[in-house]
Amino acid sequence: MSADQSTIAAAEKAIRAAWEDGCPVAGHPEELAPLAVRRWRSAERRIKGETDRESRIRDLAKGLMQIYEDDPGHVGPLKEDYRYLAQRIAEAIE
């Protein structure tokens, strides 16, 4: 298994675990994991200034919302669920 494949597998596992913990936005791990890994790795291009862990988690949560929400500006309480999912993915792939 290549490094990319193992990173994606770790992200899939984190997404499944978040789903099992009750996170309502943690579905479709096979589809979501490669997108999340790519977003995490390319954060420096989008984030202005210093790219610390917290800013990368916020960026990943924003990307997850853009993938699944028709209007990410109106996500409401699900925003915290996306942040939780982003944090779980970050922990798994760092």
Which tens digits make up the pLDDT trace of 62-89? 999 998 888 877 778 899 999 999 999 9
pLDDT the model gives residue 76: 86
Distance CA(67)–CA(88), nearest Å, equals 17
- Helix, strand, or coil here: 36? helix
- Cβ–Cβ < 8 Å for 15, 26: yes
Q: How many of the other CB atoms lie within 10 Å of CB of 63?
A: 20
The per-residue pLDDT for range 1-60, each reduced to its tens digit, is: 787 999 999 999 999 999 999 999 999 999 999 999 999 999 988 888 778 999 999 999
- For the chain, the domain total comes to 1
Q: Name the residue range of residue 71's domain.
A: 3-93
User: The tokens of 60 are what?
Assistant: 């990943």
Q: Counting Cβ atoms within 10 Å, is residue 74 exposed (0-12), middle (13-18) or buried (19+)?
A: exposed
Q: Which residue has the tokens 């997404």?
A: 15
pLDDT the model gives residue 93: 96
